[in-house]
Amino acid sequence: MPLPFADRLNHVETSAIRELFKLLGKPGIISFAGGFPDPAMFDIEGIRQASSQALIEEPGAALQYGATEGYGPLREQLGAFMASKGVAVAPEGLIVTTGSQQALDLLGKTLINPGDKVIVEGPTFLATIQCFRLYGAELISAPVDAHGVKTDELDQLMAEHRPKFVYLIPTFGNPSGALLSLERRRQVLAMAVKHQTLIVEDDPYGDLYFGEAPPPSLLALSDSVPGSRELLAYCGSLSKVLSPGLRIGWMIAPPELLANAVMCKQFSDAHTSTFAQATAAHYLKSGRMPATLAHVRQVYGERAAAMGRALKRELGASVTFDQPQGGLFFWARLTGENGKLTDAGQFAREAIKQLVAFVPGAPFYAAEPDKATFRLSFATADVGKIDEGMARLGRAL
Ligand SMILES: Cc1ncc(COP(=O)(O)O)c(C=O)c1O
């Protein structure tokens, strides 16, 4: 007998990407497909010390049930971390979530009625597309270029569709790698006020820059645009800079939105692991974070530079891309030059035969996909593997 699943599951399907990931176990494969940080970047010694301290100094609290809003000392440390990035927020002004993924889910749960419109970037983070669709959202796609979402188009879409909210990854987007310019950031904030529409800023990559620091977050800039702070929900994460296994994310949002998110979180996981939160709090307090950030920026920066050089060398005019200034991803597009492939799905299948993997771009679009696009992560392969992997890609095309 078929099990009586809820209708909401009809809005989502397992992604094509998961099917591709099944092939990644092939021996000898070089994968640029994942969105994972490199485990070699984890500050294991620092996390070991922090977790020991949690067990030595406050074992009762670290192993006990805790407040849904988050563990007090971690909320304080995250407040200080945000202050170092130009955002003034009291510990009560943020809640701890189980990864920023849970913050996105809580936003979906608290805000989306079936049929509500939500504007996302085209392309955007696949799990967000799936999550918002699960709640019945109708997703509208706003185009992106190297400077982030195109604000003229976004303004028109906001006027036309009156969305429930707009979801953006302004800093080194996944998968686009795009960095929203300062000018466009100011425009987005002004548009939030003009249309009285909530903007969700998802920011897991903002600390992963390779050269100059990116412009301040929308949240940091909101003080200079009157009325915009009340229309912003910010999601942060320690996943990409420290460890995704800790599952520490946070959300900063207007008080009534946070209160509703906390209510929903109560019925979901009650609270994020207190042990993980206590560990993260000790880690942030230890003062090791700046050195950790400097290290990941340097290593990923070298890998991004190597991938850019190798892509040009091995694929030449067959692809176009913008060199990412931070984050974990290259977003490239097949040009079809000299009769070469233009379908990235087909290219991915040819690449697997050459023992190299990446993710085709189509699933990252909530609307009409650009099938010539694909995403390459440079995070987990060293420079030698990147060079070898790009040479294999050249043979696959
Ligand atoms: C744009 C974006 N948002 C959110 C997440 C979720 O991260 P986490 O739940 O580990 O904080 C990711 C992870 O890949 C991401 O790329």
Mean per-residue pLDDT pooled into runs of 10, the chain (397 residues): 90 72 82 94 98 98 98 98 97 98 98 98 96 97 96 98 98 97 98 98 98 97 97 98 98 98 97 98 98 98 98 96 97 94 95 95 96 97 96 96
Regarding whether 318 and 235 lie in a shared domain, the answer is: no
| Alpha carbon of 37 to ligand 1 centroid (Å) | 11
Tally Cβ neighbours within 10 Å of residue 308. Answer: 18
Is the residue at 2 inside a domain?
Answer: no
What is residue 211's predicted lDDT score, i.e. its pLDDT?
Answer: 95
Question: Hey, whose CA ends up nearest to atom 16 of ligand 1?
Answer: 174
What is residue 229's predicted lDDT score, i.e. its pLDDT?
Answer: 98
What is residue 16's predicted lDDT score, i.e. its pLDDT?
Answer: 63
What is residue 11's predicted lDDT score, i.e. its pLDDT?
Answer: 80
Is the residue at 1 inside a domain?
Answer: no
Residue finishing a domain among 287, 322, 349: 287
Is the residue at 48 inside a domain?
Answer: no
Domains contained in the chain, number = 2
What is residue 41's predicted lDDT score, i.e. its pLDDT?
Answer: 95
From residue 21, alpha-carbon distances to 14, 40, 323, 345, 357 in Å are: 12, 21, 25, 13, 9
Regarding whether 161 and 256 lie in a shared domain, the answer is: yes
- Give the atom of ligand 1 at the shortest distance from the alpha carbon of 240: 10
| Alpha carbon of 177 to ligand 1 centroid (Å) | 14
CA angle 294, 295, 301 (to 5 degrees): 90
Ligand 1 pocket residues where CB is under 6 Å: 35, 99-101, 125, 169, 174, 202, 204, 237, 239, 244, 249
Regarding whether 135 and 148 lie in a shared domain, the answer is: yes
pTM of the predicted structure, to 2 decimals: 0.97
Residue pair 120/141 in contact (Cβ under 8 Å)? The answer is yes
Residue 107 belongs to a domain with what CATH number?
A: 3.40.640.10
Pocket test for ligand 1, best of 240, 241, 269, 364 (most atoms within 8 A of CB): 240
Task: Print the domain residue range for 89.
Answer: 53-287
User: Whose CA is closest to 369, among 39, 7, 15, 111?
Assistant: 15
- Give the atom of ligand 1 at the shortest distance from the alpha carbon of 125: 1
